[in-house]
Amino acid sequence: RYMAGWATKIEGSTHEHSVPFALQAQMVAYTRREPVGVVAAVVPWNFPLLVAIWKLGPALAAGCTVVLKPAEQTPLTALMLAELTQEAGFPPGVFNVVTGDGPGTGAPLVSHPLVNKVSFTGSTEVGKLIGHACVDHMTRFTLELGGKSPVIVLDDCDPATAAAGAANAIFFNHGQVCCAGSRLYVQKKMFDRVVADVADHARQLTLGHGLDPAAQMGPLVSQEQMDRVCGYIDIGRSQGAEVLAGGGRAGERGYFVQPTVLASVRPEHRVVREEIFGPVLVAMPYDDLDEVAAWANDSPFGLGASIWSNNLSQVHRLIPKLQAGSVWVNCHSMLDPGMPFGGYKQSGIGRDMGRAALDAYLETKSVFINV
Ligand code: NAI
Ligand code: MG
């Protein structure tokens, strides 16, 4: 609905020219925005329908056509979406879906010479491949990639509120969230209390089938993802991390991983630096704001960050220091169709949602008319 509103609000601007040698001439100068053309949208499996809509909405509002490639793990909602667009009366060819894996279908799609813009959400590794492929044809591209988002608890905070918030920031969607709060920094005098509380939350989560209303956390998406996440927990342990909750696979059937909290980690540990994309939190104490800002930014990623505090002065001092595309205060992973979402640093290029997303599907044409 938000993006539909933009369809009637795409505007250029009129200009008074200032070219000295042409001052006598009567010039009409204006800009117009035009749809960029054919859009290839390549999306991941963690929020398959939602992320597809993030691409489709602004593309259609701008007047583009779309070829969507869903992740190989989750093609069904994309196909259902295509059926719904037919039912809704979209002209043939405006919205298209091709299913298949990355190398076989995604790669040829993004490097196709008739594609004008690629919009990708997924791993930083594949995002870089796609960016390189796009430059060959000067295909426009936006990338929404991985993260290792910090959750920063200041010393004035109510420990129970902060712990509940931190647990939700990492365990929501089993941690398979690009902006998951996967690094927890707590001011050192509150560290033990808050981290013990988060570990309690982790132990109390009920794991179960995704359609079981009593289940608070389901399985991970695939065997591959479960193995990757459990592998990281083992790497953490071997580098000296202390396991405060969880610590591996849950049960023998399905791809369940225990909600896991690791402490006694160091900034250079792989579990602190790399995106795990599962229910695994690393927790570290800090002294003061400058120190925690430096640690929060000591990451190749810059997608999100949350601050937990009611001290307005401290919060406002910290917000400009954080290298993150979204900063949340006393909440985490808040998204709105009107608010741009995307990454600093290796978390991506460009923004989904908001007016910024629309711009990525438009070209700007400057027109001079000598009248
Ligand atoms: P991926 O980045 O390989 O897959 C995402 C999409 O890209 C899928 O549709 C896939 O088919 C496609 N793809 C893969 N290789 C491609 C290529 N060469 N050219 C064009 N398209 C290609 O992610 P994967 O392998 O499923 O997950 C690996 C890790 O990536 C996860 O553990 C997580 O850390 C990260 N990830 C991050 C996401 C995010 O939302 N930022 C979403 C999914 C994964
Ligand atoms: Mg992959």
Residue ranges lining ligand 1, Cβ < 6 Å: 42-46, 69, 71-72, 101-103, 106-107, 110, 121-123, 126, 129-130, 145-146, 178, 228, 275, 277
3-state class (DSSP) for residue 263: strand
pLDDT tier at 21, thresholds 50, 70, 90: confident
Q: Which residues contact 55 (CB under 8 A, 6 or more apart)?
A: 39, 41, 43, 66, 68, 119, 121, 352
Across the range 146-175, mean pLDDT stands at 97
CA atoms within 13 A of residue 205's CA, in its CB half-sphere: 29
Cβ–Cβ under 8 Å, residues 169 and 180: yes
Rounded CA separation 78/90 (Å): 15
Ligand 1 pocket mutation pick from 47, 126, 301 by most atoms within 8 angstroms of CB: 126
d(CA 358, CA 127): 20
Which residues touch 231 (CB under 8 Å, ≥6 apart)? Answer: none
pLDDT band at 18 (very low <50, low <70, confident <90, very high): confident
pTM of the model: 0.97
Per-residue model confidence (pLDDT) at position 347: 98
Give the ligand 1 atom nearest the CA of 278. Answer: 32
Is residue 290 pLDDT above 80, yes or no? Answer: yes
What's residue 132's pLDDT? 98
Could you tell me which residue, 236 or 22, shows the higher pLDDT? 236
Q: How close is the Cα of 123 to the center of ligand 2, in Å? A: 7
41 pLDDT exceeds 90?
yes
| Positions marked active-site | 144, 178
Separation of CA 36 and ligand 2 centre (Å): 28
* Strands across the sheet containing 14-15: 14-15, 27-35, 362-370
**Mean pLDDT taken over the chain:** 97
- Residue 352 has what pLDDT? 98
Strand 260-263, strand 242-245: pairing: antiparallel
Q: What is the DSSP letter of 39?
A: E
Residue 19 has pLDDT above 90, yes or no: no
